[in-house]
Amino acid sequence: QQLSTARIELAALINVSPSTKFQLADVQTEALIIPEWEVPLDKMEMLAFQNNPDIREKLYQNRIGLDDAKKTLLRLLPGIDLSGGRNYDLNSFLDENRWYEWSATLSLNVLKFLSLNDQKRFNDANKTVSEAQRLSLRMAVLAQVHVADRQFFNSVKQFERSNKLFTIDQRLSSQIAERQESDMQSLLDRISQETAAIDSLMRLYQTYAEVIAAFGQIQSTLGVGIFSNGVQTKNLRDLTRTVGKSMHDAINGVSVNTELKRINSANARRRDLGEEPEVAEVPAVGSDIISLEEPDMRPSEASVTVSLNENRAGGRLSGTKFLCGTISTLASDRGWVKISAEASDERKVEGWLHEVYATMLASKCGTSAPPA
């Protein structure tokens, strides 16, 4: 069933008519290379938060919503109309036939002004909904990262099992063929074993396709593209060479290392300008260089605004401004951390926070982790 539609799907991907006849090059089993992937899960989460297009879209929507709220409040201000001019009249009986005039008009829409409180409540509710949507989107991206990571390693295990089974079936086929030639095994046994070897080969190709699909899902989830600098040529031969090199770099882990180095460089430039890095420092995979951040490289904040969940992984969401020196950890459960802190209005606040955001919170406050 899958093979019946595979040719049509491939024709659509390579931009040819579905009725076009083409033949794929035969691939030897020795050429089936497993992509290298040694990126830790926390670094994958950071990459996804940095490059995921859905998160980027939500950030832009939040900015647009903030601008719309400001525009709405500005419409409530009184309207001022200033006018002025220089006049002249040819009537000679006038005492002064040249004069200047000016006027100022102040207008206020009373109905809009009376709806000020409703508009403020609407803006606050819209902000709360936006924060909840952003949190749910980030949690969805986290889930996608974890699922993609598990799917890749599970597919690799399936491929390794299929490869071992194919090797065993090949050896059995060779032995039965030799025994059949020596009249020690029937021809039917040889045909049966060779059929099993063919089935193992097909299963090997299928599991390898699942490995490549899972690897592509990881690349898509993390937002790591194949072409880092785009394609500058329209020549088919050069394009083929570029695609081949890009695929080779992706399989060997070069592309993800390049992306990690790019993020580190961007964070370094932002720190030099006195700005907050978008994500934490991420060392390149396989690199012997470990980047250490001194405590005085980035000034700690006296207070931070944090959105806490009422329960672990759910419940009512509330945004509160904390004092950094009062944050403490109460509990930890399956990737979630319960923290307690003193709000800016001297209230004692408790709530649950995902460990990724707990790490970001500790980074903003200039500590290695929320104190226990």
Domain ranges, residue 342: 298-372
166 and 311 part of one domain: no
Report CA-CA distances (Å) from 166 to 162, 193, 202: 6, 11, 9
238 and 362 part of one domain: no
Tell me if 39 is assigned to some domain: yes
265 and 315 part of one domain: no
322 and 360 part of one domain: yes
Q: End-to-end distance of the chain based on CA atoms, in angstroms?
A: 56
CA-CA-CA-CA torsion for 76, 60, 266, 302, nearest 10 degrees? 50
Tell me if 199 is assigned to some domain: yes
User: For residue 206, what are the contacts with CB-CB under 8 A and spacing of at least 6?
Assistant: 162
User: For residue 72, what are the contacts with CB-CB under 8 A and spacing of at least 6?
Assistant: 119, 123
Tell me if 65 is assigned to some domain: no
261 and 303 part of one domain: no
Tell me if 121 is assigned to some domain: no
Strands 303-311 and 314-323 come out as antiparallel
55 and 193 part of one domain: yes
Kindly report each contact of residues 258-267 with a partner whose C-beta sits within 8 Å and lies 24 or more positions away, as own/partner.
258/228, 259/47, 259/51, 259/222, 259/224, 259/228, 260/39, 260/43, 260/47, 260/284, 260/285, 263/46, 263/47, 263/50, 264/291
Averages of pLDDT over each 10 residues, the chain, 372 residues: 78 84 74 80 81 80 82 77 86 82 81 78 83 84 88 91 89 84 77 86 89 87 71 74 76 72 70 56 36 34 69 64 78 78 79 73 61 42
User: For residue 364, what are the contacts with CB-CB under 8 A and spacing of at least 6?
Assistant: 276, 300, 301, 304, 324
Report CA-CA distances (Å) from 204 to 18, 30, 210, 211, 312: 27, 12, 10, 11, 42
323 and 237 part of one domain: no
Which pLDDT does position 368 carry in this prediction? 46
155 and 230 part of one domain: yes
273 and 223 part of one domain: yes
Structurally, the chain folds into a number of domains equal to 2
Q: Would you say the pTM of this structure is higher than 0.75?
A: no
